[in-house]
Amino acid sequence: MARLVTTHLFASVDGVVESPNVWQFDSFDDQLGELMGQALARTDAVVLGRTTYQEWAGFWPTMPADDPFARFINEVPKYVASRTLGTDDLTWQNSHLIEGDLTASVARLAQGEGGDIAVNGSISVVRQLFDAGVLDRLTLTVHPVVAGTGRRLFEPGHDTTRLALIDQVTTPAGNVVVTYSRRD
């Protein structure tokens, strides 16, 4: 059985997914933490773009080992999509450079044994995998905030794509967590 390729992005009501640390902090509640913990428990590989990799590699290894996400992200195999980084640049433990075509590499990875493969952050990587039909699940946590500015996952002019709702949860802080698959 193939592994699922998933992503879970924080989004504002106006569709911004960039820099959620700036606007989502006051709506992160215990139920959202529990849902994220459940997703991490199903995941045993992560795909990151160059920017997210470099930001996280400078932050997460310095976090205390009792932080659940730090423990997860520091130990999990990380596959890095980059045209500018080389293997020697990947100093964070368990990091591997994706060689060649991103979508073909992730599709091959998904054919192996194991748990889910999560694409974290990395808006352009999520778009590429979504557009290629490699992304199996798209989870958005819509926080009760209008961010005003920032990158959106899908910019104007993106092709129309129908989605099927897989799951939905509303947390006490007003977050709406929705999970979709493609409806081809």
Q: So where are the chain's domains?
A: 5-182
Give CA–CA dist 163/173, Å, rounded.
26
pTM of the predicted protein model: 0.92
Q: What is the DSSP letter of 29?
A: -
Query: pLDDT (tens digit, 9 = 90+) per residue, 21-66?
Result: 888 878 888 898 899 889 989 999 999 999 999 999 999 999 998 9
Q: CB within 8 A of 180, min separation 6: which ones?
A: 137, 138, 139, 140, 163, 164, 165, 166
Q: Provide, rounded to the nearest whole percent, the portion of the chain with pLDDT above 90.
A: 78
Which CATH code for domain 5-182? 3.40.430.10
Mean pLDDT on 124-152 = 94
Query: pLDDT (tens digit, 9 = 90+) per residue, 55-94?
Result: 999 999 999 989 999 999 999 999 999 999 999 999 999 9
Q: How many helices (H) and strands (E) does the chain have?
A: 5, 8
Give CA–CA dist 4/88, Å, rounded.
29
